[in-house]
Amino acid sequence: MDIKNSILDTIGNTPLIRLNKIAEDLPGTMLAKVEYFNPGHSVKDRMALKMVEDAEAAGLIKPGGTIIECTSGNTGMGLALAAIVKGYKLICTMSDKQSKEKVDILRAVGAEVHVCPTNVAPEHPESYYSVAKRLNQEIPNSFWANQYDNLSNTKAHYESTGPEIWQQTGGTITHFVVGVGTGGTISGVAKYLREKNPNIKIWGIDTYGSVFKKYKETGEFDEKEIYSYITEGIGEDILPKNVDFSLIDLFEKVTDRDGAIATRELAKKEGLFLGYSCGSAFQGLRQLKHLLDENSVVVVLFHDHGSRYVGKVYNDEWMRERGFLNEEKQVARDLLAKHSNLPLATIGAGEPVHNAIALFRKYGISQLPVVLNEKFVGSIDDTHLLEALISDPTARDKRVEDYMQAPFPIVQASDPISTIAQKMAKTSGAVLVELGQGKYHIITRHDVVAAMS
């Protein structure tokens, strides 16, 4: 029989998976330690359990007590599993930049969640850090896990993640690459690996808006480095005790945009449906490729699963709003997405001009394709109509065909945005997209400008 006594017994022993297509242009062997195989779908299950076990051993929490933590979500999930199995209550404080999915998931596993503002300093009374601290003072028999400064965090990775990586690579690992937040993962794994082989390089991945890289390079905690960013889980505006700078060879910063794009690329090219910081970790590794050679055996650790980011990096609209999509890859079909549910408005060539004006008003549009016998024979737009009405006030009762322009150019649904823009520039303010089975829809100049900006 092979039975686990509880969900907690399934934590750890995650697979090491070779990166293939995405790593083709990187020298050496690229391996991913994929931590979403943990039951809470992140590496944080390991340290969450360790923090609770160490607190129990030290008498910091007693039966029926309350665990409190400020968390970007993953630690909360790990703590929730431990709390459920061990019979504790859990309160999580989170910053409001975290995905809604993360909040919902924590509530689903019984946690009480307090969402706090992101754009305040850690010492501000409303920060998720200060709120956790205050609740800890107010609630009797409560234990504030404090993953930033609680060294059980590092210890968990020293005892489990590090040894697993060493064994899985048969001791051949030359580089360990990982995103850094509290620092527990990098410091614990690095400590174990360096004890086995002091030559192993340890690279931390940081974000723009975080203090780590500059602090490592200059020893200065520079507040000017701090600004808000979107990447979740990595980078900090504090120096957590769990970051052991002496074990880290260098930090590499990755932009929000590059991290998001790499996250999507990992899903498409490797079938690895990962969290945002995983894309940043891989992108950071890619930026450091000049430091690798054919003999390099690189392990990059991927923290969590993509399901918590479906409304963010995996959502085209979210990516577009932030200018993260390479718009050249957008095609006519994507531009139609916003209004494809609405019917295409047209006007008959023989109808009076005032009917066209009424349609402009009704739909808030400025141009219409003109049809005759189910064919597009022309186009009419408000600029030309206005000119016509100024020179001839009776024009409103004349036929549309007397005032129409050339038909809108036709494009295919798979045509890129550049083709659409080119065709549109030569004529009026729109193109028609052929959708098959005699169906068409319209893309206006406004749609193209919105997509490109």
Ligand X SMILES: Cc1ncc(COP(=O)(O)O)c(C=O)c1O
Q: How many residues bind ligand X (CB under 6 A)?
A: 18
Question: Does residue 235 interact with ligand X by CB under 6 A?
Answer: no
Q: How far apart are CA 45 and CA 57, in angstroms?
A: 18
Q: Among residues 300 and 331, whose Cβ is nearest to ligand X?
A: 300
DSSP code of 19? -
List the catalytic residue out of 33, 44, 133, 213.
44
Q: How far is the CB of 314 from ligand X (least distance, A)?
A: 15
Nearer of residues 184 and 369 to ligand X, judged by Cβ: 184
The pair of structure tokens assigned to 152 is 């059980």
CB of 289 to ligand X, least distance (A): 21
Q: Is 196 a catalytic residue?
A: no
- Across the strands, what pairs with 207? 254
Residue 210 in tokens = 């975080």
In the region spanning residues 93 to 122, those forming contacts with ligand X, defined by CB under 6 A, are none
Q: Binding of ligand X at residue 234 (CB under 6 A)? A: yes
Please say which residue, 61 or 156, places its beta carbon nearer to ligand X: 156
What percent of the chain is helix, strand and coil (3-state, nearest 5)? 45, 20, 35
Q: Is 74 in the site for ligand X (CB under 6 A)?
A: yes
Annotate each residue in 266-295 with x if it binds ligand X (CB under 6 A) or - if it does not, as one string: ---------x-x------------------
Q: State the CB neighbour count (10 A cutoff) for residue 89.
A: 16
Do 372 and 357 meet the contact criterion of CB atoms below 8 Å apart? no
> 104 or 392, CB closer to ligand X?
104
SS (H, E, C) 346-394: CEECCCEHHHHHHHHHHHCCCEEEEEECCEEEEEEEHHHHHHHHHHCHH
**Residue 42 CB, nearest distance to ligand X (Å)?**
6
Smaller CB separation from ligand X, 29 or 95: 95
The partner residues of 304 in beta bridges, in order of sequence, read: 42
Q: Choose between 78 and 429: whose C-beta lies nearer to ligand X.
A: 78
Q: Under the criterion CB under 6 A, does residue 304 sit at the interface with ligand X?
A: yes
Is there binding between residue 185 and ligand X (CB under 6 A)? yes
Distance CA 84, CA 106 (A): 12
Is 306 an interacting residue with respect to ligand X (CB under 6 A)? no
Interaction of residue 72 with ligand X, rule CB under 6 A: yes
List Cβ neighbours of 287 (8 Å cut-off, separation of 6 or more).
252, 254
Of 388, 413, 409, residue with least CA distance to 400: 388
* Whole-number Å distance between alpha carbons of 309 and 68: 24
* Least distance between ligand X and beta carbon 334 (Å): 28
160-179: contacts with ligand X (CB under 6 A): 179
Residues annotated as catalytic (active site), given as ranges: 44
Binding site for ligand X (CB under 6 A): 44, 72, 74, 179-186, 232-234, 275, 277, 303-304
